[in-house]
Structure 1
Amino acid sequence: RRRLIKYIIQNPTTLDDQTVKQIGSDLWQLQMLERYDLYRYWLLKYQQYLHYSVREARHAYNQAASALAEYYQEEDYYILKDSIIVAMTTTCAAKYHDVLEKLQSKIVIVEEAAAIFEAHIITALSTKCEHLILIGDHVQLRPSPSVYKLAHKYQMDVSLFERFIKNNFPNVRLNMQSNFLLFNQQC
């Protein structure tokens, strides 16, 4: 019995569609190995059918997911289009780049710009951007890449904000900073 199982596992079916059509309807007339060969043939055909079905289902799912994502982006655009100010994280800006592009924002303000990777700021910009305002402290904060070799070799630990300042790009510095105190009014 073990030899038979080992044989079945090691030797794939040699039957093809023509040979199977020639086999009669009485399977008991076949030798044991021929029956196992036929069984493996049926298994192979069933696996091919399942593989095809899963591939088709995956394709249909991907199309539906893509259509749904497009619908949600369109919905987000209609929610944001009449807004005066749109605020989001750089991760969200990358995710909603198409929506931001449709909004055609002319002014983009980036807070804590010294701690944000250059690529994250660039992805937040649309082609209609006329003014980029970067706010931050390039002396105290820097981006912190997770791979030291890449950071050192490609200077990824230097933000766009710091590059602008080091290259004498027009900038304004605050001499004194004060924090807003927020008070809750009770009625």
Structure 2
Amino acid sequence: MNLISTRKPTGKDIVDLLLLCAPKDCLDELEITKENHRDAAIDFDSLGTFHFAEMFALSLFYASKSAVNKKKSYPLIQSLQISPDALFLLAEVIRSEEFDEVRALYKEIQNNINAKGGLKKAKNSPVASAKKFVNSCWDDWIKQPSMFKSKAEFARCMIDKFPEILTSQKVIEDWCRQWGKKAKLQP
């Protein structure tokens, strides 16, 4: 029973599995929503190897317990070349029907990450710092729309300011869309 992936999982893989299979209160605790899934994936990618592995294990654990989303999670698990049968057999071995057990496992993993400062490091990562700066620039742009002609131009300017950290124009444009939606929701 080989659960080791031949393609290295990414933060996006973790977020996709969690969105498919994790209970809502776990997603709330991790601050993962369908709207911010790209940002969450970037945050997971910035975790250290050990913490990333723990979060990947947590996502696989939820996938192994989710009979409802088995058809949706199966292709993703297959793309990681992890035997889905082995993974769902793991759920039978665990035989944990009580959410309290899952919550306890999550808390244990979360405490391990917090004890080593993993989430704090992720929030203070160069990407997170750059994103905060981009957000403040976006706020300025909203107040003075003549600064940039489009989101694309704004994104290119931000990439020029952080060429080693920010590499994706699309990601920055998605941040702008997300911030715009959030601004519309606020009174």
- TM-score, length of structure 2 as denominator length: 0.21
* Bigger helix share: 2
Q: Which has the larger radius of gyration?
A: 1
- The structure whose RCO (Cα within 8 Å, separation 6+) is larger is 2
TM-score normalised over the length of structure 1: 0.21
Higher strand content, 1 or 2: 1
